[in-house]
Structure 1
Amino acid sequence: MVAAGTRGDVLRRAVQGYLDHLTIERGRSANTVAAYRRDLDRYVGYLEARELSLGDVTTTVVEDYVTAVRTGSDGRAPLAAGSAARSLAAVRGWHAFCVAEGQVDTNPAAAVRPPSQGKRLPKAISTHDVERLLAAAGAGDGVAAVRNRALLELLYSTGARISEAVNLDIDDLDLTPGLEAVRLFGKGSKERVVPVGSFAVEALQAYLVRTRPVFIAAGRGTPAVFLNTRGARLSRQSAWQVLRSSAEAAGLPGAEHISPHTLRHSFATHLLSGGADVRVVQELLGHASVTTTQLYTMVTADSLREVYVQSHPRALA
């Protein structure tokens, strides 16, 4: 019988090999790899507690694990259906890697279905509320206000993820009249070029000319577009706080629930409401599958239905 310590060491080495594969060969982001590491650490702990080696895992074991993470019966915090599905995806990917590497013959997680979860519609805010948010971000005379307005204008104008925005370098911006665009690097370092609207261009030019040099003077020089007061690249956390503070200052309903993804969802929803083709929006958002983008069409259809019911004299006939 394999000693528990040895069994655990073997499992964790196999996990590390998979994480290295994701990082080096698949080009996954550090955040994605960190999430996989957390999920697989929990899974390995579950296997260790039952004295199971890699070859002992069956489909039933994986199914029981999914139940354990949903209920917290493994002694850890229970996970929502979406988080449990993400954890199962990490487990399935690891076992598939182990099969490909010849460590085992079959993937016991391949046939395990993720827990069902209700289809969550993206949350968007109205164009009026977006305008209030942007105005609040730029309120005041300080250099930070100019930066904050430029940041939020860019997020809403391009549908960029918050990580894509803070990772922008000066060379990723093209503000040439008639060619205004930004180069974004999404999940898996996938590159896309997105047009930038005139309001965002104006806000960016004001920031780059008037206030970014002030931030640069406080640091050692960096190609980052968005900087903090020390002249270093603005962090995701700081950018998130810019949005949260602006939402609160604007007095938006549910300000505590507004996130950078809210602007991304609003960008997509407003485009589709204006008649944009769903595949065009897919490209702008950097979605690998149009199915993900089609969630936004449900939001738009619901909005149209509500207007119809309220306005058409025969809608309730």
Structure 2
Amino acid sequence: MVDRYLTKKLEAGGSREAMRRPLEDFAEYCDDHGIDSVDELTSDDVRDYGLAVLREKYIDGEIGGSTANTYFRYVRAFLSFCVRDGRLDTNPADTEAAEEFLPEDTPTRDTQFWEPEQRQRLLEYADERVTMAREDRIDVPVARAYRDRTIVVLLAELGLRGAELFRDPNDDRRDGLRWGDVDLENGRLEVFGKSREYETVGLTDAAHNALSRLEHVHDPPTEDWPLFPTGHAASKYQAVEDAIGERPDSGTDIDTLLREQAIAPPSITKEAGRQVLKQLTEEAGIDVEGGYLKPHGARRALGAELYEQGHSELAQAALRHQSIETTHEAYSDIKAEDVAESIDEVRE
């Protein structure tokens, strides 16, 4: 149905490619939530899509408020087409309730990226925090300090998305990065990418070092063990109950039981990952617009660094963009500056 609509839009002079990815994301969301045809959609379903997908991407810094609202308008236009086509009686996106959780319609240029000084300070503080934890100078478990440092390093070095690192409660296929996804011997890892397929990411020296140290400290008993296990006790108890069919007594050493039974706890969620960065940003004394250094800001910063140095194809590969046009569009402001500088040089 989406393909049919896009073909009609193209014939009518609309921009098919601009609408394709957002509408495919909407179709995937419906499929993942058991909505097999458009006539099953309700206003609540569309509202939940706005909350679970568009608002989450906005919070993660992947898209601006303006873009989130534009994507929602694409969905609403598609569903209007379905009404005209006789597939729906009314448009479930054309209600106030459906738009309830959309972010404020602010320009995409507000999207954050980590400044080099901010990035360096956060990395340095994450290292300092590990040392302080090992020396009992702060009330933070050593394993958690290593966990948090690895989160910072993987974001800063590899430009991974938060949804590729952490569990997404709204997406059953995104259960967080696992040790079975990591191949230290060959220096790479596999992530469940935006394409909804597994993608290979090469490890820089710093990322390899951080993962090696984390593996040594955590000593994961199974390949299914998450890199960033939750500290939420109730979730750990639930994991045991799901695995063996009964809930352990409240006085049980749940961490020991999980290891003895080789039952993997859940990964921390995307929201928990954001809270880690909020805490580290504040403790490191980093002043940043938006309150804290967001996960997607690291990704944008890595791409900008490579793009500014003239390595657009390397930026495309590092960010795993499907086409170089996507990379050019993401950093159109940098490209415009380069063009202006080239004009000045020619005129000289």
Q: Following the alignment from structure 1 to structure 2, what is the Cα–Cα distance between the partners of residues 41 and 80?
A: 12
Deviation string 1:130-181 (CA, Å, 9 cap, x unpaired) is: 12102222313222111111111111221111110122111211111xx311
The answer to whether the 8 A contact 1:159-1:285 is kept is yes
Give the aligned partner of residue 99 of structure 2: none
Going from structure 1 to structure 2, the CA distance change for 1:174 and 1:91 (only over 3 Å counts) comes to: same
Q: Following the alignment from structure 1 to structure 2, what is the Cα–Cα distance between the partners of residues 40 and 22?
A: 12
The answer to whether the 8 A contact 1:282-1:289 is kept is yes
Going from structure 1 to structure 2, the CA distance change for 1:21 and 1:234 (only over 3 Å counts) comes to: closer
Output the amino acid matched with 1:225.
L
Going from structure 1 to structure 2, the CA distance change for 1:99 and 1:25 (only over 3 Å counts) comes to: farther
Point out the structure with max Rg over C-alpha.
Answer: 1
Output the amino acid matched with 2:297.
T
Say which SS state the counterpart of residue 88 (structure 1) adopts.
helix
Q: 2:179 aligns with which of 162, 165, 170?
A: 170
Q: TM-score, normalised by structure 2?
A: 0.55
Give the aligned partner of residue 245 of structure 1: 279
Give the aligned partner of residue 301 of structure 2: 266
Question: Structure 2: 5+ residue runs without aligned partners?
Answer: 1-26, 37-42, 52-63, 94-104, 134-141, 167-175, 234-264
Q: Following the alignment from structure 2 to structure 1, what is the Cα–Cα distance between the partners of residues 293 and 337?
A: 20
Q: 2:87 aligns with which of 103, 113, 117?
A: 103
Question: Structure 1: 5+ residue runs without aligned partners?
Answer: 1-17, 28-33, 43-78, 110-115
Going from structure 1 to structure 2, the CA distance change for 1:26 and 1:225 (only over 3 Å counts) comes to: farther
Say which SS state the counterpart of residue 275 (structure 1) adopts.
coil
Give the aligned length.
238
The answer to whether the 8 A contact 2:113-2:297 is kept is yes
Give the aligned partner of residue 97 of structure 2: none
Output the amino acid matched with 2:119.
V
Say which SS state the counterpart of residue 120 (structure 1) adopts.
helix
Give the aligned partner of residue 130 of structure 1: 119
Deviation string 1:112-137 (CA, Å, 9 cap, x unpaired) is: xxxx9755264322333212102222
2:207 aligned with 1:204, yes or no?
A: no
Q: How does 1:213-224 map to 2 (within 5 A)?
A: 213=219, 222-224=224-226
Give the aligned partner of residue 275 of structure 1: 310
The answer to whether the 8 A contact 1:40-1:91 is kept is no
Going from structure 1 to structure 2, the CA distance change for 1:275 and 1:175 (only over 3 Å counts) comes to: farther
Cα shift at 1:223: 2.6
Give the aligned partner of residue 71 of structure 1: none
What's the C-alpha RMSD, in Å, of the aligned pairs? 4.4
Q: TM-score, normalised by structure 1?
A: 0.60
The answer to whether the 8 A contact 2:66-2:108 is kept is no
Going from structure 1 to structure 2, the CA distance change for 1:20 and 1:276 (only over 3 Å counts) comes to: closer
Q: Following the alignment from structure 1 to structure 2, what is the Cα–Cα distance between the partners of residues 133 and 238?
A: 18
